[in-house]
Amino acid sequence: MQFRDLKHQYQVLKEDIDKAMSRVVTDCNFISGQQVKNLETELADYVGTKHCVTCANGTDALSLAMMVWGIGPGDAVFVPDFTFFSTGEIVAYAGAVPVFVDVDLDTYNISTDSLERKIREIQEEGKLIPRAVIPVDLFGLPADYEKIRKIADQYNLRILEDGAQGFGGRIGDQMACSFGDISTTSFFPAKPLGCYGDGGAVFTDDDETADLLRSISVHGKGAMKYDNVRIGLNSRLDTLQAAVLSVKLKAFRGYELDDVNKAAERYTALLGDIVKTPVIPRGFYSSWAQYTIQLGSKEERDGLQARLKESGIPTMIYYPKPMHKQQAFEGQRFVDDDYRNTIQLCNTVLALPLHPYLTDTESEKVTGEIRNYLEEKTH
Ligand SMILES: *Cc1c(COP(=O)(O)O)cnc(C)c1O
């Protein structure tokens, strides 16, 4: 069984993907080819933003936002404690301080109560200027942007939506990657919409922001390529990746997103009475980057993972360590008591195999093994 079955997906889309890739190789327009511009239009249209600027990966996409806003030394940026390393890394890389915020046990997303508490703490200390918050759409579920927007307005913060896992999710009719003042995503192969290498994109409605993004992502270019008006990056999406993504986006919109939601609903129906299954609040729709359950203890989680492995069922622990405990941030002082939910989640979460091509037989095998393990433990 595959955790995320990219081989199966390729077999289904092979003809179109091969044709699209072969076109790029024949034309030899490897950098900034027409396929990149076409994809940016398709992505902006899907997400519902005015602009999409593609780039080299999801981490650069976040860094580009930091650069556009001029965030650096003396600034505080609020980041969930339970996320992939990038979300905090890019803040420190910009020279600013990532202030970690605990998350909600049901949704895995940033807790707005903890966010407000941390903002007040930073204000009272008076050493750093609160500049931005980076909500993450963890495991495919959009964060609570209605509440976050209110807090951001009250404390004059910008919102950078880290939609690396959220692409395809929505709240009501509004799509993920459109909730931030700037929003980003990643096309790393295992993400909801993945390419065949690294890739990323930035979304915004603001014209000036889009112009800056297009400049900074190509060496701070001015009116023409060899006119450099600011310090930037070399962060472009390869034409080959854009060609692959256009084909995959069609399948994603057409049926993959529906199918992965059906597979997730099936897990919830089969597991809801024995483990804590993911909570999707009313009006929210997830793109299911992961299907993450919670077990009763670390011992139970680790035991279940070992049992599933014996039965040929791959699982993952996203994430085993809170951000505030990462050695890379060890210069900063954090109190474990501020991160009780994250610490609990790191000890008890387990992500199950999930993708649009997961069969009912496969999900029944996974849930059957989980049921057996838990029943044996209680008898
Ligand atoms: C994957 C991921 C990133 C980084 O994306 P890359 O394309 O791997 O650089 C950032 N944030 C989150 C939450 C992610 O899951």
pLDDT in tens, 86-118: 999 999 999 999 999 999 999 999 999 999 999
**Which of 57, 84, 136, 193 is the best mutation target for the ligand 1 pocket, counting ligand atoms within 8 Å of the beta carbon and taking the most?**
84
- The confidence score (pLDDT) of residue 2 equals 96
3-class SS of residue 244 = helix
- Dist. CA 107 → ligand 1 center (Å): 19
DSSP strands (E only) in the chain: 51-55, 75-80, 97-101, 129-133, 158-162, 170-171, 174-175, 182-186, 200-204, 284-285, 291-294, 349-352
Output the CA 55–ligand 1 centroid distance in Å: 13
Q: Is the pLDDT of residue 51 over 90?
A: yes
What percent of the chain has a predicted confidence (pLDDT) above 90?
Answer: 97
pTM above 0.85, yes or no: yes
Q: Residue 378's pLDDT is what?
A: 78
Span 296-311, average pLDDT: 98
Ligand 1: residues within 6 Å at CB? 57-59, 83-84, 86-87, 136, 162, 164-165, 186, 188, 198, 200
What is the Cα–Cα distance from 290 to 255, expressed in whole angstroms? 18
pLDDT at 374 over 80: yes
Q: Whose CA is nearest to atom 10 of ligand 1?
A: 86
The ligand 1 atom at the shortest distance from the C-alpha of residue 62 is 10
- List CB contacts of 305: < 8 A, sequence separation 6 or more: 315, 317, 350
Distance (angstroms) between ligand 1 centre and the Cα of 155 equals 27
Distance 239 CA to ligand 1 centre (A): 20
How much is the pLDDT for 377?
85
Give the pLDDT of residue 332.
82
Contacts for 344 with CB less than 8 Å, ≥ 6 apart: 105
Q: How high is the pLDDT of residue 15?
A: 98
CA distances from 141 to 85, 109, 161, 170, 284 (A): 18, 8, 12, 8, 7
Nearest CA to ligand 1 atom 7: 58
Model pLDDT, residue 141: 98
Alpha helix (H) residue ranges in 77-144: 86-93, 112-125
pLDDT of residue 223: 87
Mean predicted confidence (pLDDT) in 338-354:
98
Q: Please, are residues 319 and 375 in contact by the beta-carbon 8 Å criterion?
A: no
Predicted confidence at residue 331, as pLDDT, reads 82
